């Protein structure tokens, strides 16, 4: 987590290549508890699970890459990762409302991470088991119910 934040996140953020958002500890002002990074992206239509492409033209399917999501080991297992995933989805839904986008595209760092994302409804691409996708609409009803969208 620290190496990415120190070496790449700020530079990519300032260049508009991607945007990184942090969860900060209320008790310790400069302590980052977790973060996520997003960037506009698209995936090849033929690789997306069929249920997610019904009715779409056979062009690349637009969305947002969840380039990174990480939490501090000290808060692992306390639900912050799921909260960051929801926050990323909310931000992407708002962006999609202005410029389009259907999917959250996730590059899992390994099988364990892929299984974690799958527990939230993500499905692997047909040709890349560690690249998962989720329709942004998956999050919309829950976020509307919480009056966040």
- Beta pairing partners, 32: 24
Of 128, 124, 5, 142, the C-alpha closest to 83 is 142
Of 36, 42, 18, the C-alpha closest to 100 is 42
19 class by beta-carbon count within 10 Å (0-12 exposed, 13-18 middle, 19+ buried): middle
CA distance 36 to 85: 8
Catalytic residue among 52, 117, 122, 131: 117
What is the sign of the dihedral through the CA atoms of 138, 140, 146 and 149? positive
Q: What is the pTM of this model?
A: 0.88
Report how far apart, in Å, the C-alpha atoms of 13 and of each of 8, 10, 123 are. 8, 5, 28
Q: SS3 for 135? A: strand
Of 130, 105, 116, 84, the C-alpha closest to 40 is 105
Of 134, 131, 25, the C-alpha closest to 142 is 134
Cβ count within 10 A of residue 20: 18
Domain containing 27: what range? 2-145
DSSP 141: H
CATH number, domain with residue 131: 3.40.630.30
Per-residue pLDDT for the chain (149 aa), expressed as one digit of tens each? 577 877 788 888 888 899 999 999 988 888 999 999 999 999 999 999 998 988 899 999 999 999 999 998 888 888 999 999 999 999 999 999 999 999 999 999 999 999 999 999 999 999 999 999 999 988 887 777 777 76
Count of domains observed in the chain: 1
CA distance 45 to 101: 13
- Copy the structure tokens of residue 72: 């501090």
- Catalytic (active site) residue 36: no
């Amino acid at each position: 987590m620290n190496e990415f934040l120190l070496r790449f996140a700020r530079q990519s953020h300032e260049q508009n290549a991607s945007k990184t958002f942090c969860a900060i500890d209320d008790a310790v002002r400069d302590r980052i508890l977790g973060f996520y990074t997003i960037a506009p992206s698209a995936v090849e239509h033929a690789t997306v699970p069929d249920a997610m492409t019904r009715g779409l033209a056979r062009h690349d399917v637009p969305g947002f890459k969840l380039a990174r999501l990480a939490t501090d080991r000290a808060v692992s297992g306390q639900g912050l990762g799921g909260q960051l995933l929801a926050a990323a989805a909310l931000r992407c839904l708002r962006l999609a409302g202005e410029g389009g986008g259907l999917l959250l595209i996730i590059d899992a760092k390994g099988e364990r991470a892929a299984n974690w994302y799958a527990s939230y409804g993500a499905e692997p691409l047909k040709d890349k088991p560690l690249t998962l996708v989720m329709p942004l609409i998956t999050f919309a009803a829950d976020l509307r119910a919480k009056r966040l969208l």
